[in-house]
Amino acid sequence: MKFDELGLSPEILRAVHDAGYTEPTPIQQQAIPVVLAGKDLMGGAQTGTGKTAGFVLPLLHRLQRHASSSPSPARHPVRALILAPTRELAMQVEESVKTYSKHVPLRSVCIYGGVDMRAQIAELKEGREIVVATPGRLLDHVQQKTVNFNSVEFLVLDEADRMLDMGFIPDIKRILSLLPTSRQSLLFSATFSDEIKKLADVMLKAPQLIEVARRNTVSETITHRVHPVSADHKRHLLLHLLKDKPDMQVLVFVGTKFGTSRLSSWLERQGINSDAIHGDKSQQQRTDALEAFKSGKARVLVATDVAARGLDIDDLPHVINYELPSVAEDYVHRIGRTGRAGKKGDATSLVAPEEKGRLADIEKLIKFKIELVELTGFDTSAGPAGEGRGDRGGRHGERGERGERSSGGHGHKHEPRVAHGPKTPVQLPPTVAHLPGGFDPTKPYEASKPVPAPEGEAGPGAKSESPPRRPLRPVAALLGGIGKK
Ligand code: AMP
């Protein structure tokens, strides 16, 4: 199928052509006609499927009748509201809006927390037809009366399941109550729990249901590998892998905010350009980190699941799970960034004995056993509890970014972590044994550092996007099959 068979306007097709797209992706083929026909839509699709263009292109087409080059703010009321769970996703969506609307005089703005409101207020005052926003900050604007929803015709809720995870549903309901009832609404979610269905019931009218990717399907072009290693030797193994392939750019997943910063700083000290991204970083820091990684300046981006969700990092061949996620589905989300569009990718997981339960859950979910590759020189025995041990992404009892305890409590059968004495040093391979700065891997790392604030609590200025304590995600029944990219 070709883009010009979809009925989009010549201006929009020109932008699609400029973006270098030749064929619509499966979600675009299904979603675009539904949205053009003015129907509500409930879409099952994950990031990486092309879903953003799937709703932005037809939305722009339908808004084109309002397009105006007039400088008057009155000619540019808010017509479309796109809600996203994280700043990063909101920014990416708004970037897409700008890309696809470049030949149409429609204006957009991105509204998110953690930054001064004044610039956003100034843009809203000038008039913007398309507002892409995170819910908390949008409500701040509602409170300050700096945004007006009277002319809203379209509402898009992107990554609704993540909105639910992050505790945004009350905010969403509040926003819904402020919108005109006569509007077209679209809801996208990778998963469909009962709560999402309930939300869809109040938000959508006779929606068309489309789906393109069965949740928990992983691309066949990805090579999965597990390296068993004690928690205390993980970072040395990571360093070994990085040194082994000096040209490799890697997205590394860690379970906690504190763990990401700590690992990233440690890698920097070992001479590896690295940056960390998590919910407590300022907006500028997060943007800079992502840019540094995308431009290749940073070789490694260490991220939490929440911060990485929705990141549009093209052609990323390597993902390393420094710690396995506590929710098995997040393994699929994490590696969704590699192996896109049939390209080859690697998903390597460093798995400590304490994480065996998580590994079993993941293998059950993806329905195959991941190859186990033991690397000589790395201890694989169960380690002591996290107290002050540098290799752990999080300390014992530290909360994950979603406010979960990083050491279990999710129905997985984790062995309780009990503090033991230091372990017998093991023979490390040369890349590890000769670390700069005379680092002794057998000694506790930064043991005297103060215990950080519990993860999951909002940092200053990040009120709306730092997720509150997250309820356990039910392993919801998904919509049916999806085409693999
Ligand atoms: P999304 O799932 O919306 O985050 O999109 C994932 C990536 O696919 C983005 O980098 C888009 O620019 C790209 N993309 C979207 N539609 C197409 C298409 N029809 N052909 C090629 N790439 C696309």
Mean pLDDT of the chain: 77
Bridge-based pairing of strands 300-303 and 250-253 is: parallel
User: Given a cut of 90, is residue 410 above it in pLDDT?
Assistant: no
Do 244 and 339 share a structural domain?
Answer: yes
pLDDT of residue 195: 86
Same domain, 200 and 276: no
Residue 366 forms part of a structural domain: yes
For ligand 1, atom 21: residue with the closest CA: 21
* C-beta 53 within 6 A of ligand 1: yes
Do 226 and 201 lie in one domain? The reply is no
Residues 156 and 28 in one domain: yes
- Predicted confidence (pLDDT) per residue in 182-230, tens digit: 999 999 988 788 888 899 999 999 999 998 755 455 566 778 999 999 9
Residue 169 shares a structural domain with residue 275: no
Residue 417 maps to a domain: no
Ligand 1, closest atom to CA 310?
4
Regarding whether 78 and 202 lie in a shared domain, the answer is yes
Do 322 and 372 belong together in one domain?
A: yes
Residue 228 maps to a domain:
yes
**Distance from Cα 24 to the centre of ligand 1, integer Å:** 9
Residue 117 above 60 pLDDT? yes
Residue 249 lies in a domain: yes
At 338-360, the pLDDT tens digits run 655 556 778 999 999 999 999 99
pLDDT-derived band at 94 (thresholds 50, 70, 90) equals very high
In the chain, % of residues over pLDDT 90: 50
Which of the four pLDDT bands, split at 50, 70 and 90, describes residue 50?
A: confident
Q: Tell me, yes or no, whether 296 and 375 share the same domain.
A: yes
Res 263 pLDDT > 50: yes
CB under 8 Å to 443, separation ≥6 — which residues? Answer: none
For tokens 């809006």, what's the residue?
97
Residue that is last in its domain, among 340, 372, 406: 406
Domain span including residue 238: 222-406
pTM: 0.57
Q: Ligand 1, from 52, 57, 189: best to mutate by most atoms within 8 Å of Cβ?
A: 52
User: Is residue 234 a part of any domain in this protein?
Assistant: yes
Number of domains present in the structure of the chain: 2
Residue 101 lies in a domain: yes
Ligand 1 mean position, distance from CA 134 (Å): 21
- Rounded Cα distance between 270 and 264, Å, is 10
pLDDT at 418 over 60: no
Domain termination site, one of 359, 376, 406: 406
- Residue of the nearest CA to atom 6 in ligand 1? 48
CATH of the domain at 23: 3.40.50.300
Among residues 178, 211, 244, which one ends one of the domains?
A: 211
Between CA 138 and CA 434 the distance in angstroms is: 51
Nearest to 280 by CA among 435, 66, 467, 140: 467
Binding site membership of 25 for ligand 1 (Cβ less than 6 Å): yes
Is position 461 within any domain? Answer: no
Q: What is residue 88's DSSP assignment?
A: H
